[in-house]
């Protein structure tokens, strides 16, 4: 296998891994109707956030905490 073939194979492997990771993340994204208030703290969720993330259930602060602790619901 020459250098160009090795580079092509490496590129394909990286792309496949990236595609798998994106698909995994997309599966975890909320879907459906967004909450108007955070399910954890009760604060209002901004309309812009609800528009950007259909199905969102957490305010930014609570989502950041969940992301840090890996406590996705």
34: which 2 tokens?
């967004």
Question: For residue 25, what pLDDT band results from cuts at 50, 70 and 90?
Answer: confident
Nearest CA-CA partner of 52 in 64, 34, 73: 34
| SS3 at position 37 | strand
- pLDDT digits over 27-57, tens only? 877 788 999 999 999 999 999 999 998 999 9
Instruction: Give 5-17 pLDDT, tens digit per residue.
Output: 999 999 999 999 9
In angstroms, the CA 20 to CA 37 distance is: 32
- Taking residue 35's Cβ as centre, other Cβ atoms within 10 Å add up to 16
**Confidence at residue 71, expressed as pLDDT on a 0 to 100 scale:** 57
* Spatial distance between the Cα atoms of 71 and 73, rounded to a whole number of angstroms: 6
């Amino acid at each position: 296998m020459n250098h160009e073939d090795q580079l092509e194979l490496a590129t394909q492997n990286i792309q496949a891994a990236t595609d798998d990771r994106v698909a995994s993340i997309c599966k975890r994204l909320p879907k459906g109707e967004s909450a108007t208030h955070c399910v954890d703290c009760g604060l209002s969720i901004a309309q812009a956030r609800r528009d950007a993330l259909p199905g969102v259930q957490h305010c930014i602060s609570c989502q950041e905490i969940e992301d840090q602790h890996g406590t996705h619901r």
